[in-house]
């Protein structure tokens, strides 16, 4: 009957008060309330939902809702749009209109149920639900009544490119315009004001995770951590395992636990492939004695996880001395930075990154590297540009790379409730600059960390990372995650 799982139809997926699994209806109401309270008088918010994306011709990908639209509504159907008007009339500080497709017997026969307009009002808290084909006319009538516009997506019409057409195929809205085209055209036709980017406003709130969000994020990380643990054993059960098999095994385990999709294309990089940060071809075979680096995480009930582990493969399930030495250097940096993931450290993500560069340089010099220590920057060029060419950290949440709101900028202090990754790495190219026993070893260890007031909470704690635990998982003696 409905276009998405609801408590009354899918009690196996969610609690009675949840609008989406793990997030109660009241929380969606609070999100809109807080957003609208933060915006000046005369504000109009327009947020488009996602559209179906196509692999080729009419072959579509599984739909994923646009993140901000989902955050503000919990509505999971494609081709929908949200308008919030800041107004003192009515039962709350804003008026909410949701545009969607509504019931359509023919379409539903092919694509599955859609939620009807009356139910959209009752279930999703809209003041009004209207057909998407009316979006253009409705919006055009509203724009002159408001003095500030906040729109999402912003990139196309925000810059006022004339008659810019989106690449997204038109939905079947009655005007023949896609929602994006309707938004662009309506904005083109009013001269002022220039719209602002809604994403920046919403990001300020998305940066701090509620207790319910923290619970879902922990579950997402738990599922991925379990899949990593079992994959350690799987990579040690047969010789020459294809990297793609390890990826398939990881995805299979996450799906069994209820994850809707991978949060990103898994990196399964054996041997020297691990020196490529975003290696995703995954088409080589694991060689005896090599390490394998897996950067993989699932999306669960709208929240992502992002975990990397690096471990030995068939037949020994043991690190060589050189591998263990690099691994240990990365682990020391990870632990050092993780301990600072608390509000009381008054540090920013950038500060943590600088710390990680210092620690890595110090640890590598103990191994015979000849790196300048001290502050990051030009003095640390080999570490930052060659051995560790990426940033330590990024916020995660509904998006794998959550937008930096003002409160989560890389340069502002960490705040309790933020969730970030901590992911130092070392990738040693076969260069005479570096000791030869370490050539072609690549190690990254990545955790998801909830910033606490006084202490960090490692959400991905269940994925082994101490050498003794990793080797035990590889050898099938850890006691958890074994076959």
Which residues sit at the interface with Mn ion, rule CB under 5 A? Answer: 306, 421
Strand order in the sheet with 81-86: 128-131, 94-100, 81-86, 43-48, 148-152, 196-197
Closer residue to Mn ion, CB minimum distance, 63 or 350: 350
Q: Are 291 and 442 in contact (CB under 8 A)?
A: yes
Closer residue to Mn ion, CB minimum distance, 182 or 225: 225
Q: How far is the CB of 444 from Mn ion (least distance, A)?
A: 9
Closer residue to Mn ion, CB minimum distance, 318 or 390: 390
Closer residue to Mn ion, CB minimum distance, 236 or 421: 421
Closer residue to Mn ion, CB minimum distance, 306 or 355: 306
Angle 48-52-54 from CA coordinates, rounded to 5°: 140
Closer residue to Mn ion, CB minimum distance, 204 or 390: 390
Q: How far is the CB of 350 from Mn ion (least distance, A)?
A: 16
Closer residue to Mn ion, CB minimum distance, 306 or 363: 306
Q: How far is the CB of 308 from Mn ion (least distance, A)?
A: 7
Give dist(CA 65, CA 152) in Å, integer. Answer: 13
Q: How far is the CB of 446 from Mn ion (least distance, A)?
A: 6
Q: How far is the CB of 421 from Mn ion (least distance, A)?
A: 4
Give dist(CA 198, CA 68) in Å, integer. Answer: 9
Q: Mind giving me the DSSP string for 435-459?
A: -GGGTT-EEE-BEEEE-BSSS-EET
Q: Mind giving me the DSSP string for 40-87?
A: PTTEEEEEE-----EEETTEEPPP---HHHHHHH----SS-EEEEEE-
The tokens describing 327, both together, are 């691994």
The tokens describing 391, both together, are 């940033």
Q: How far is the CB of 69 from Mn ion (least distance, A)?
A: 24
Closer residue to Mn ion, CB minimum distance, 273 or 421: 421
The position carrying tokens 């209820």 is 258
Q: Are 137 and 20 in contact (CB under 8 A)?
A: no
Q: Are 464 and 309 in contact (CB under 8 A)?
A: yes
Q: How far is the CB of 399 from Mn ion (least distance, A)?
A: 12
Could you give the 3-state DSSP secondary structure of residue 291?
A: strand
Q: How far is the CB of 448 from Mn ion (least distance, A)?
A: 9
């Amino acid at each position: 009957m409905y276009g998405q799982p609801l408590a009354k139809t899918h009690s196996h997926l969610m609690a009675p008060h949840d609008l989406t699994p793990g997030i109660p209806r009241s929380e969606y109401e609070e999100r809109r309330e807080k957003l609208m309270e933060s915006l000046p008088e005369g504000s109009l918010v327009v947020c488009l939902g996602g559209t179906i994306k196509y692999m080729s011709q009419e072959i579509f990908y599984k739909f994923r809702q646009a993140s901000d639209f989902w955050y503000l509504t919990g509505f999971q159907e494609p081709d929908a749009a949200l308008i919030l008007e800041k107004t003192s009339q009515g039962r709350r500080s804003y008026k909410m209109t949701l545009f969607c497709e509504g019931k359509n017997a023919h379409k539903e026969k092919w694509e599955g149920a859609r939620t009807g307009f009356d139910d959209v009002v009752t279930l999703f808290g809209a003041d009004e639900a209207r057909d998407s084909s009316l979006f253009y006319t409705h919006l055009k009538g509203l724009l002159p009544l408001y003095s500030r516009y906040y729109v999402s997506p912003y990139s196309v019409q925000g810059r006022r490119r004339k008659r810019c057409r989106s690449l997204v195929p038109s939905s079947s809205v009655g005007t023949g315009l896609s929602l994006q085209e309707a938004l662009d055209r309506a904005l083109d036709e009013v001269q002022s004001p220039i719209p602002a980017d809604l994403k920046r406003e919403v990001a300020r709130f998305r940066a701090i995770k509620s207790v319910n969000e923290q619970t879902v994020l922990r579950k997402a990380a738990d599922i991925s951590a379990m899949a990593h643990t079992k994959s350690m054993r799987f990579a040690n059960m047969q010789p020459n395992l294809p990297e793609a098999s390890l990826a398939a095994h990881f995805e299979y385990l996450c799906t069994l636990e209820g994850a809707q999709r991978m949060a990103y294309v898994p990196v399964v990089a054996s041997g020297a492939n691990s020196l490529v940060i975003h290696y995703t071809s995954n088409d080589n075979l694991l060689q005896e004695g090599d390490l394998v680096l897996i950067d993989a995480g699932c999306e669960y009930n709208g929240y992502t996880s992002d975990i990397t582990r690096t471990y030995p493969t068939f037949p020994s399930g043991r690190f060589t001395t050189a591998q263990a030495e690099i691994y240990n250097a990365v682990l020391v940096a990870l632990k050092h930075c993780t301990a600072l993931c608390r509000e009381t450290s008054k540090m920013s993500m950038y500060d943590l990154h600088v710390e990680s560069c210092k620690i890595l340089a110090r640890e590598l010099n103990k191994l015979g590297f000849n790196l300048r220590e001290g502050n990051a920057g030009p003095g640390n060029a080999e570490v930052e540009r060659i051995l560790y060419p990426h940033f330590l950290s990024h916020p995660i949440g509904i998006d794998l790379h959550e937008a930096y709101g003002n409160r989560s900028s890389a340069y502002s202090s960490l705040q309790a409730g933020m969730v970030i990754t901590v992911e130092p790495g070392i990738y040693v190219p076969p260069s005479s600059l570096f000791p030869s026993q370490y050539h072609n070893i690549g190690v990254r260890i990545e955790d998801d960390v909830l910033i606490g007031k006084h202490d960090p909470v490692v959400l991905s704690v269940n994925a082994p990372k101490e050498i003794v635990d990793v080797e035990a998982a590889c050898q099938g003696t850890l006691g958890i995650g074994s076959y």
